[in-house]
């Protein structure tokens, strides 16, 4: 399975939770601190290590918080 990771611009996040509900791997969680807007910004739970870089979170986020990176699986032969 492909591996992905995220750049999360936490200061843009308004904590709506759309991405948390939409992530098929359930690796997004609400952070414990407040951002400059007064919301709990989303963060990637790195311990789960299941982000596939599918991009669903970026599609559903209305505030352009995510940049998604997906590792290449390499050549198949
Ligand atoms: S890229 Fe896909 S798997 Fe990774 S956090 Fe976003 S929705 Fe979840
Ligand atoms: S969808 Fe965007 S604004 Fe809403 S919680 Fe997720 S990152 Fe934050």
How many angstroms separate the alpha carbon of residue 72 from the centre of ligand 2?
26
Q: Closest residue (by CA) to atom 6 of ligand 1?
A: 57
Predicted pLDDT at 48: 77
Measured from the CA of 30, which atom of ligand 2 is nearest? 5
Predicted pLDDT at 1: 76
Would you list the domain boundaries of the chain? 4-70
Q: Is 3 in the pocket of ligand 1 (CB under 6 A)?
A: no
pLDDT in tens, the chain (77 residues): 789 989 999 999 999 999 999 999 999 999 999 999 999 999 999 777 799 999 999 999 999 999 999 987 666 54
Q: Is the pTM of this model over 0.85?
A: yes
CATH architecture of 4-70: 2-Layer Sandwich (3.30)
Predicted pLDDT at 74: 60
Of residues 28, 25, 29, the one with CA closest to residue 52: 25
CA dist 3 and 13 (Å) reads 24
Predicted pLDDT at 2: 87
**What count of Cα atoms within 13 Å lies in the side-chain half-sphere of residue 52?**
8
Predicted pLDDT at 75: 61
CA dist 23 and 62 (Å) reads 15
């Amino acid at each position: 399975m492909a591996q992905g990771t995220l750049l999360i611009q936490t200061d843009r996040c308004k904590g709506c939770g759309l991405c948390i509900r939409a992530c098929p791997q359930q690796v997004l969680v609400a952070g414990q601190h407040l951002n400059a807007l007064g919301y709990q910004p989303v963060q990637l739970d790195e311990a789960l290590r299941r982000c596939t870089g599918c991009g669903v979170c970026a599609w559903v986020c209305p505030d352009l918080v995510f940049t998604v990176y997906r590792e290449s699986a390499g050549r198949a032969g």
